[in-house]
Amino acid sequence: MSEAPVIEIAEEPAALRSRHLPNAISAIVLFSARLIAAVLQLRMVDRHWGGAFTGLNALSNQVLLYVTLLELGLSQSAISLLYEPLLKRNHSRVSAMVSALRHDVRRLALAGAILLVPALALYARFVHGALPYATVACTVGCIAATGLVQLMAIHFQAYLNAAEQLDKVNYTFSCGYLLKTGIGLALALHWNNYLLLPATIAVLTLGEFAALKLLFRRAFPQFRAGSWRDAAREMRSRARYVLLQRAAGVAYYQSDFIILSLTTSLVMVKDYAKFQYASAALLSMVGLVAASLTTSVARLQLRQHAENRRGQYVTAQLAVSVIGAVLMLGFWFAAAAVVALVFGRDAAVGSRSIALFGIALFLNVVKIVDDIFIMARGAFEVGYWLPVLEMPVYVLTGVLLSRRMGFDGILLASIATNVLVSIVLKGIVLAGPIFDSTSAQWYSNRLRSMAAAFVLAIPVGVAYIAAARWITADWLRLLAPSAVALAYMLICIRWIIFRRSVAA
């Protein structure tokens, strides 16, 4: 196995070394803001306009993610290429990379805007539901406009991310979620016109653009637009692999609403969304915190030899597996109560679906650590076909099974795809070049981590069972074991990290 070179980098200032904590905290704030915005929109739209509008609102968020794919993976490619010049304080190289990203993404956004109009108009025709065609088309059109504005500011986000100042981006988007939801809902309710909500979101996104531009200028006053063509060629050569992985990731994580809207109805999307939001919220929280630490992981990986890099990955894998196991148990025992409390008791999701939701959640959480290390290493060209395979397997099986089994078909498709791609194939393809181990070592570490996580999570299940048996108040039966689960999970993670530091 070839050894990646260790890059010699001067010691950074203490202010730069400590950025991982603010980034992680801001990720939790962003998660909370997104959750509040989603819950408010779902509840208020459902109460005032009905289930079809609620399904359309949930569907719009997925359309937005597909629009952002127009940047073709250039952003993540640029971020991975910015790590080293930022550490070496090569301002001219950083300026060239930012300029290249700005040029290419804006050109793609302009071309994409021309293509989006007929594509969205056609899609609106095929959506199953009782809403007028004009309402559906106008809604997805406003959301598409929101995505295009966000693309115009993506070079600001890329620099702040690579410079380990992601907290500034997260706080900007947190305020944006709350303001857009609050103002949009107020206007829509006052005029009794749902379309004012997506329209307000599109208009206020311009404020996010202005805020990110100001933050970028303050963080990088040395920026000078100059020659960018060489940087663009390097960025584009890596971006095609990033695009494949990102497009597959969006299709995998966000296609469930799209599939249900085409195979069933918007009303069924509404019912599924209530539990899917609970699952996605937990997954998003872990993903946001992990993503906020990617730059820190990249710094460590740049400085370490293979043995230390492998040890870091094994430690992170065990910690994330514990998080996944605890969240799975929490979802099994608490999801129904949380959904009833937040959305009402009319969601048609049974206990079997909740169990499948929890298993799918665990598998999706576990693979987050793999994605973070792939991004930190910037080795997007290795095994790029894995997510390309994952996307059609999930979408095709999801369509076939959802027609026969509804919600459960989508969940079974997710579980089967995870087992095939994220466990079976990943150990064969990525073990050596990404995780500095043989396939046998990777499988052994993965299975041991999952088994250890299940064992460590047993006290959490005991706490939920005891609470259900001995606590009579509904709110305390939910909060008490959840607080115990959170505290216990944090203790386990600290122990895992401490054990690693002692071993090192």
Domain map (residue ranges) of the chain: 15-257, 304-504
User: What is the pLDDT of the chain when averaged over all its residues?
Assistant: 79
Q: How many CB atoms lie within 10 A of CB 69?
A: 18
* Neighbouring C-alpha atoms within 13 Å toward the C-beta of 112: 21
Q: How far apart are CA 193 and CA 320, in angstroms?
A: 44
Q: How far apart are CA 375 and CA 366, in angstroms?
A: 16
Spell out the long-range contacts of 182-191 with Cβ–Cβ below 8 A and sequence spacing 24 or more: 182/40, 185/40, 185/41, 185/44, 189/44, 189/48
CA distances from 2 to 47, 83, 84, 371 (A): 60, 22, 21, 21
Summarised one tens digit per residue, pLDDT across range 168-204 is: 998 999 999 999 999 999 999 999 998 899 899 999 9
**What pLDDT was estimated at residue 8?**
40
**What pLDDT was estimated at residue 414?**
84
What residue ranges of the chain have pLDDT lower than 70?
Answer: 1-21, 62, 128-130, 243-271, 273, 288, 290-307, 342-349, 377-381, 383-384, 498-504
**What pLDDT was estimated at residue 311?**
74
**What pLDDT was estimated at residue 218?**
92
**What pLDDT was estimated at residue 255?**
67
Summarised one tens digit per residue, pLDDT across range 90-141 is: 888 899 999 999 988 888 888 878 887 787 777 777 776 667 888 888 888 8
Residue with tokens 């609620």: 54
The answer for residues whose C-beta is within 8 angstroms of residue 238's C-beta and 6 or more apart is 77, 80, 81, 378, 380, 381
Q: How far apart are CA 30 and CA 43, in angstroms?
A: 20
Summarised one tens digit per residue, pLDDT across range 322-335 is: 988 998 998 888 88
